[in-house]
Structure 1
Amino acid sequence: MLWLYNIGIQLYALLIRIFSTFNTKASLFIKGRRNIFARIAQKINTSQKHIWFHFASLGEFEQGRPVLEKIKEQYPEKKIVVTFFSPSGYEIRKNYALADGIFYLPLDTPSNAKKLIAAINPELAIFTKYEYWYHYFRELNKNGIPLLIISGIFRPGQIFFKPYGSFHRKMLACVSHFFVQNEESIALLKTINIQNVTQSGDTRFDRVAENAHTTKKLNLVQSFCRTKPVFIAGSTWPQDEQQLANLCKAHPDWKFIIAPHEIGTSHVSEIEKLFPDAVKYSALQTTADPTALNHQVLIIDNIGMLSALYAYGKVAYIGGGFGAGIHNTLEAAAFGLPVIFGPRYDKFQEAKDLIELGAAKSISNGSELSAAFDELSKNEEAGLTAKDYVNTKTGATGQIVGYLSRYFKP
């Protein structure tokens, strides 16, 4: 099975190179890994121990960030190295101040694993939620370096729990301890004889609750919203935006703010076609015309504002549910917004919980979206329930960092 895994890695590398000729993300993926070990050597002192945090992408970074920051607060002398697999994480957080080095993760080959672990000299490795890499896990295990998975979540359909999943179970056997989100994950891991598990919950709750208390004020957004009720659509994709267009037309008394997942020029242009009475945030920043604030729709054509936008909303729509899966519902819920999202949310426990509590609705078409909007926009309790749900789920960060203290000498 190992040979098949190695071939898969090489095939992935080849496909990325092909795509890099016409795809921006693939191009960044390739360029970011070029001369990676030379750049690590320039930045990192190999003789010093580091705590290695790895994140698949931006979402996992925000999920693991509370643990990283709490470690830095309690152990300020500790050196931290961060790696990302995806450009959407690295390109946005490559200048994050609390890390001593931030890099792309080289592809998972035996030689890359040896080189990287020798270069960053980790005393501890922390992976968030997903990302299981055979050679990196094996190399950490071989060198006696503790490896933790935080905010992990497991489902019956995953290959680890299949009769043919023995190779992937070997990866899990390299993990020193799992901190998981729910009881189902504990029960599943027990079926494959993994007992080193703690149900800590999800560190995202700590992150979004903190963000709701400390979020920055967006004066231009506030001027756009004025006193009207505001519908925030976050991390949207084209299928989401198509559903939202008719809702916007049906409610001219509402302001709509759309923060798409992709902010490329062509995508933003398509959104402008769907929403004729729209203005881009970049245009608001540069115009001296006060009437620009009179538009019904504001398109956020930058990255990094979404988590603060929810402070101005009354109802939120979370994108991705017509594709691979919904994005972060908790950021909106932390601000007391009921949430609406598409049909693909089965991998997200918080989405299921919010629906059960009456603080969220899943929709499959425009008529369901309209009905969900009508119900949630009139239900003040739904938003309060969403906020209470977030606040009662905090505490995972403290539990994890408390456990980590055993690895750190005073």
Structure 2
Amino acid sequence: MRVLYTSIFYLLLPFILLRLLWRSIAAPAYAKRWAERFGFFSALTTHKKVVWLHTVSVGEFLAALPLIRRLQADESVQLVITTTTPTGSERVRATLGDSVVHVYAPYDLPDALARFFKRVKPSLYLVMETELWPNTLAACAKRNIPAVLVNGRLSEKSARGYTRFGALTKPMLQHLSCAAIQNSVDAARFVALGLSGDKVIVTGNIKFDLSLSDDLRAQAATLKSQLSNDGKHLVLIAASTHQGEDEIILDAFAQVRASSFAWARGAVLVLVPRHPERFERVGQLCASRGYSVVRRSEHSWNGASDILLCNTMGELMLMFGASDIAFVGGSLVPNGGHNFIEPAAWGLPLISGEHLFNFAEVARLLTDAGALIKVNSAQTLAEAFVRLLENDSLRVEVGNAALRVALENRGALDKTLLVIADYLRKS
């Protein structure tokens, strides 16, 4: 079955390259550094144990950052971090610079993987969340390199997809050495697909183990003072929005601004599209609705503006810290939602759509705690915003509930590091 999969991958390769070319029209970075995706790059020379960590894109990299910092503290370890997307690559380089080795992940093809392993010689492979590839795991097993799934998650929808390819999925999962999984429900799904139960460890979600530095808090306070005109207005944020959501959010914002309540009429919106290729399109959409829009890259906010369009990368945590109420996107459209933990760590009351299958467990924890309000339209989103805007005590109560969930579920990082340390001792 794996041979068939590889043959199909080779047959599809021209279409994959065409897709890269197509994506490079909207995001030119996709047209660069193709050689790395085939395993062509300078060989790594080091006397340290090499740990290969794969974080497919920005979200996975940011989730892994506390883990990365802890691994970097071990002077016997050399980190090699791979990503699949240019935005993920940009975040790795901007955040870590030359303190790690970074290249694009090789395609899941035997020859590309062979070149990668020859140049990197990893002692341990760590992969974040769900980015599992049959040939990659088989290549690790062939070379006796432990492969550990970190912060593993598997939605019901994804599990159904894997089930359709059971003949490929089961042997792929058997090549995992260990799976550190976020919760028992997802762990049961992995086991049902063929992962041996004795390889499963339920660690919790390492995204809860983020920390807010004093410097970040100070920057957030300064930005919030600017956006709120020294506390005269409240700040709403719509974060990680996808195509089809921005129109709904702008419709809701118009209704908020039309409210009879003063806090609502003066509210400011921070709008953060998920993908950089959409930044300008969303900016034009805001302007076409008659809003005064300032782009974050311009650093020219003034009290007369309506919307701050965050068209920069790596500033979402800062934007959450400068806001009073958070809507988390990817949830009004069937994308599965995005990370609630970051705004929860700031103690923000949370709003989302109903499509939350990628973050079902976190959404459940927040909903049960009274920290998350779910909406399904511009009208219900506007009603949720206004309800929180006009009621100070409710806004504080819901935000504090979110913060409690964030604090009470910490600890996964230490459990995960114990797993990793055990494999490093054996390597």
Is the structural similarity TM-score above 0.5? yes
298-307 or 321-330, which deviates more: 321-330
2:53–2:82 CA contact under 8 A, matched in 1: yes
75-84 or 233-242, which deviates more: 233-242
Instruction: Give the C-alpha shift of residue 211 in structure 1.
Output: 2.9
2:253–2:382 CA contact under 8 A, matched in 1: no
Q: 1:326 aligns with which of 337, 345, 364?
A: 337
Aligned CA distance change for structure 1 residues 214 and 400 (closer, same or farther; 3 Å): farther
What is the 5 A alignment of 1:237-316? 237-249=242-254, 250-251=256-257, 252-263=265-276, 264-274=279-289, 276-285=291-300, 292-316=302-326
Partner of 2:205: 202
2-11 or 312-321, which deviates more: 2-11
CA distance in structure 1 between the aligned counterparts of 2:16 and 2:190, rounded to whole angstroms: 33
Aligned CA distance change for structure 1 residues 389 and 212 (closer, same or farther; 3 Å): farther
- Can you list the C-alpha shifts for 1:61-82, whole angstroms capped at 9, x where unaligned? 1122221211222x12311100
Number of aligned residue pairs: give it.
400
Q: 2:350 aligns with which of 339, 344, 364?
A: 339
CA distance in structure 2 between the aligned counterparts of 1:358 and 1:57, rounded to whole angstroms: 31
Q: Does 1:352 align with 2:364?
A: yes
- Can you list the C-alpha shifts for 1:208-263, whole angstroms capped at 9, x where unaligned? xx037652505355313221211011112242221122332233221111122234
91-100 or 133-142, which deviates more: 91-100
Q: 1:391 aligns with which of 380, 383, 407?
A: 407
Partner of 2:260: none
Q: Does 1:363 align with 2:362?
A: no
> SS at the partner of 1:223?
helix
- Can you list the C-alpha shifts for 1:180-209, whole angstroms capped at 9, x where unaligned? 1111123334443432111110111112xx
> SS at the partner of 2:15?
helix
> SS at the partner of 1:106?
coil
1:148–1:178 CA contact under 8 A, matched in 2: yes
Q: 2:237 aligns with which of 232, 236, 250?
A: 232
Gaps (5+ residues) in structure 1? none
The two structures have a TM-score, normalised by structure 1, of 0.89
Instruction: Give the C-alpha shift of residue 365 in structure 1.
Output: 0.9
Gaps (5+ residues) in structure 2? 258-264
Aligned CA distance change for structure 1 residues 268 and 278 (closer, same or farther; 3 Å): closer
Instruction: Give the C-alpha shift of residue 164 in structure 1.
Output: 5.0
CA distance in structure 1 between the aligned counterparts of 2:290 and 2:177, rounded to whole angstroms: 51
> SS at the partner of 2:169?
helix
- Can you list the C-alpha shifts for 1:290-313, whole angstroms capped at 9, x where unaligned? 8x3321221122112111111121
- Can you list the C-alpha shifts for 1:305-328, whole angstroms capped at 9, x where unaligned? 111111121110111111422122
Partner of 2:89: 90
Partner of 1:136: 136
> SS at the partner of 1:400?
helix
2:272–2:309 CA contact under 8 A, matched in 1: yes
2:371–2:399 CA contact under 8 A, matched in 1: yes
Aligned CA distance change for structure 1 residues 225 and 76 (closer, same or farther; 3 Å): farther
Q: Root-mean-square deviation (CA), in Å?
A: 2.5
Aligned CA distance change for structure 1 residues 238 and 45 (closer, same or farther; 3 Å): same
CA distance in structure 1 between the aligned counterparts of 2:27 and 2:296, rounded to whole angstroms: 27
1:46–1:121 CA contact under 8 A, matched in 2: no
CA distance in structure 1 between the aligned counterparts of 2:398 and 2:2, rounded to whole angstroms: 50
Instruction: Give the C-alpha shift of residue 156 in structure 1.
Output: 4.5
Q: Please tell me the residue identity of whatever aligns with 1:368.
A: T
2:36–2:103 CA contact under 8 A, matched in 1: no
> SS at the partner of 1:39?
coil
Q: Please tell me the residue identity of whatever aligns with 1:261.
A: R
Instruction: Give the C-alpha shift of residue 394 in structure 1.
Output: 0.7
Aligned CA distance change for structure 1 residues 159 and 12 (closer, same or farther; 3 Å): farther
Partner of 1:64: 64
Aligned CA distance change for structure 1 residues 79 and 142 (closer, same or farther; 3 Å): same
- Can you list the C-alpha shifts for 1:334-387, whole angstroms capped at 9, x where unaligned? 101111122211221212321232211222211211222233443121100000
The two structures have a TM-score, normalised by structure 2, of 0.86
1:33–1:105 CA contact under 8 A, matched in 2: no
Alignment identity in percent?
Answer: 22
